[in-house]
Structure 1
């Protein structure tokens, strides 16, 4: 059976899957939480235009920034980072999971823990221009996993 709705086409050739009485997966509370999905792009203008067509809104001139975010219902963020073509992953880098740490020092500690356990660190911790301590570690399948925390406010900044 084929159904259409809101410009999407759904093909159903069997009974729908059973509904589950509880979530199939949860995240325990602790030192990190899933917070965002990141996309590295060599053409930020084209990428934002695509996602605008899907209903996301961005400020004027967002294409000029090195980092752009959209907050989705529920608080999860989609993030875009402009990367030079010579730094792009051949064939595309794909989205990355992003986990927020409790502090900048937490980014450093978790990066050290994961790389110490044999996981490949692809970007050592650094202070990003958008105000976060940031690092990237590859998961066992080679997918990038971002670790980040807001940078501490500067002394005397009154924040």
Structure 2
């Protein structure tokens, strides 16, 4: 048996409208299910999905990991994040492991990385 891929990842939000607005501002435009008023929203990401689930404010979480999204142009996504008024925790840079990337935390504290493999 071989594990072939990740179909989807689901993360929690305390404010679905705020979360949907945040992700749409970054270019997550394909929403096959849900939306700002829904308790569950799905964004299509390549061949997989990013799901958001509304969670009551009494449910808290701490740092749990990072979602890494491969994108066509790291610097363009960074510029889009800045234009939307977001504050990435890093600026785009070339890493020794062979990717250009930057980090950004969403409004619910989930750490995101936007990356692109460097050409060798």
- TM-score normalised to the size of structure 1? 0.38
- TM-score normalised to the size of structure 2? 0.49
Relative contact order, CA 8 A, sep 6+: which one is greater?
2
**Structure with the greater alpha carbon radius of gyration:** 1
